[in-house]
Amino acid sequence: MANKDRETSKFGQGYAAQLLAFNIQKQKIANLCNVEFEDDLFDDAKNDSSWNRAINGKEVWEGLIDALHNLLSDQINHPRKYLPADGPPDEGLQDWMKQIAPAPWWRDVLQVSASQSAFNAWFSNRPMGKAKVAEVKAAVDAWWARLMLAVDKAEQASQIREMARAKGWGKTARSFDSYFFTKVVEEGMAVDDARALYVEMKVLAFRHTADIIDLSDPQDPLAPMDGRHDAMYRDDFAKEFDAMHKAGYPDALPSVPPDFDQDPFYEVKQWGGEENEECPKNLNESLYGLWYRVRRQRFWNTEMRMVDMTHEIVEVSDDGVTWRAANEREKRGWDAGTELFLRGIVEDGDGRSQYEREVDDLRAKIKRLRFATQNAFKPEDRASAQAELTDAEKRLSALR
């Protein structure tokens, strides 16, 4: 669709203020949102001016607004992934702080005794008195500790909501059934204690609102809803737990693995040829017709609570008799070319492989030539059409 035909919308300035409270700088917001477009098969990263217009509440393409709302929702629910993985270091503290915000923001937040000019100089890796540096480090540590408490609250509530959504998906490691099966059956938690825990978890996730964390003053991002009906909700949550417990946690997956054969085993297979390509480009020519040996081994997937299987291509052979170690390309195996297939569909409505295109073209050509051989007036035209028809039928037969 042409840009001029795209629907437009505005981003609420209240939402923009929330994003800025967590990200500090508009450029960071733009960079994070652009990751979504960089990973999109059908779109491209947007320029900074477009993001600035969107964040400033101007009318822009609604795809930008959707990306901003997606970022806001994800940062409310999963703030940890947008923060440094490790806490403030003893060495290189300035570089760590620069990941989050510039010097003026930090001094306003930390309220340290160093002047702004001295702090700016230190932030640029110039020296500052040891006592002043120690004061900054202590202030950053205290700030980080408060932030991590807020992050833990947000992540915990989000995880519980995801567990609740898993209900109805059947047996899954992420469900309440699996969690409380482990607590009660595997670990021996008393049923009354488990019921109380279940109720508190549901209250935390569904009787609180969640806001984005303001990095300038990290606080608990969860706020309780109107408490007039709390007793009713708690009673309902307790009944939910009792029903699940009475039913024997029907959607639970145990955390303890069953007995299974862990010995590796091997399978021998053969790759196909051009006719097996799945996108407009022949991506697997170096694999055509090769035999390959796959090493398989069962293992316990702790996160998914299931017996899983490894798959590693270790050797290849031209004839299925003489084998050699697989190179890096061969270890990757057959490439379906999904991205190229989807691009072909979007760009010209055709995701067929080269083989499929040639087969379809030959079929159309054969149909046209058969008509020509039957309806040509001149003998030489019939002969020419017949010769072409014979060649086309031979080529199609060879392809098949």
- CA distances from residue 30 to 17, 40, 150, 162, 276 in whole angstroms, order as listed: 14, 16, 24, 27, 41
- CA distances from residue 270 to 78, 258, 291, 318, 367 in whole angstroms, order as listed: 44, 33, 4, 10, 35
What was the pLDDT predicted at 41? 56
In sign, the C-alpha dihedral spanning 84, 87, 92, 97 is: positive
CA 260 from chain centre, in angstroms, equals 31
Nearest by Cα to 124 from 153, 102, 149: 102
Please give the average per-residue pLDDT across 45-52, as a whole number: 82
- CA distances from residue 192 to 105, 185, 189, 195, 200 in whole angstroms, order as listed: 49, 13, 8, 5, 13
pLDDT tens digits, 60-74: 889 899 999 999 999
HSE (side-chain half, CA atoms, 13 Å) at 238: 10
Q: What DSSP character marks residue 207? A: S
Determine which helix (DSSP H) or strand (DSSP E) holds 200, and give its type and residue range: helix 191-206
What was the pLDDT predicted at 2? 39
pLDDT tens digits, 249-264: 999 999 999 999 999 9
| Rama region for 305: left / alpha / beta (φ>0; ψ in -120 to 50; rest) | left
Of 12-26, 127-141, 315-329, 336-350, where does mean pLDDT reach its minimum?
336-350
∠392-398-400 over CA atoms, to 5°?
A: 105
What was the pLDDT predicted at 39? 66
Q: What type of residue sits at position 55?
A: I
What was the pLDDT predicted at 383? 86
More confident residue, 184 or 370: 184
Per-residue pLDDT for 43 more than 70? no
Instruction: Say which residue the tokens 């929702």 belong to.
Output: 73
What was the pLDDT predicted at 36? 77
List, in order, residues 6 or more apart from 355 with CB less than 8 Å away.
Answer: 274, 275, 277, 399
As a whole number, the mean pLDDT across the chain is 91
The pTM (predicted TM-score) of the whole model is 0.78
pLDDT tens digits, 174-233: 999 999 999 999 999 999 999 999 999 999 989 999 999 999 999 999 999 987 888 999
Of 57-66, 165-174, 309-318, where does mean pLDDT reach its minimum?
165-174
